[in-house]
Amino acid sequence: MRTVVALMLAATVGCAHKMADLKKPQREQVFTLAKDYTRTEVRGLGYKWVEGLRAGVYTLAAEDDDGLYFMGPGRCVVKLIDKYADEYLMKGDAKVDAGSWGGTVGFFTGGLWLPKDGVQKAPRLFYESQPDAPHAGAVIHAIIESGRGDVLFIPFESEKTFLSGLKVIDR
């Protein structure tokens, strides 16, 4: 059974890119968020999710064939669930326990991916994975760790008003 799980993880981990592998942009562009922008949704078995971006300056850091990666300051991508979502909504911050939800929730390094002109893809949040598997065996732990720093995405096309109000400027 461990072998099957390990192979499944290896197959999914191998599909992502790391930020360092992406092409550096040919121009300098930025946008600024004066305050945090998040959305709240209830999904699955009734869990509350809060996802979005923290306030700050977002700088064009990379690009791929379809879009532009605007990297924000520090751990600017918000991806919280359950009690962490509630804490963030009440206080504007949340103390996420190390290893919570397997390292899949918290505040992450990343930003906003925007499609290039003419590309029919939706905007997405992107973040660098920080997997945590403290109780996994050595092989599974190694496979999971190999995914650290992979660029992962959160669909964000539902935020049309926010996205249409972004002012990307050239430097």
Could you give phi then psi for residue 166, rounded to 5 degrees?
-65, 135
| Tokens matching residue 29 | 């562009």
In terms of phi and psi (left: phi > 0; alpha: psi -120 to 50; beta: otherwise), the region of 118 is: left
> What are the extents of the domains in the chain?
2-170
Distance in angstroms between the alpha carbons of the first and the last residue of the chain: 53
Convert the pLDDT of each residue in 105-150 to its tens digit: 899 999 999 999 999 999 999 999 876 566 566 666 565 555 667 8
Convert the pLDDT of each residue in 26-62 to its tens digit: 899 999 999 999 999 999 899 999 999 999 999 999 9
Convert the pLDDT of each residue in 7-16 to its tens digit: 444 444 445 6
Neighbours of 52 (CB within 10 A): 22
Cα Rg, the chain, nearest whole Å: 17
Q: Cα–Cα distance between 47 and 95 in angstroms, integer?
A: 18
Report residue 152's pLDDT band, with 50, 70 and 90 as the boundaries.
Answer: very high
| Tokens matching residue 72 | 């924000």
Q: Which amino acid is at 94?
A: A
Q: Cα–Cα distance between 171 and 162 in angstroms, integer?
A: 22
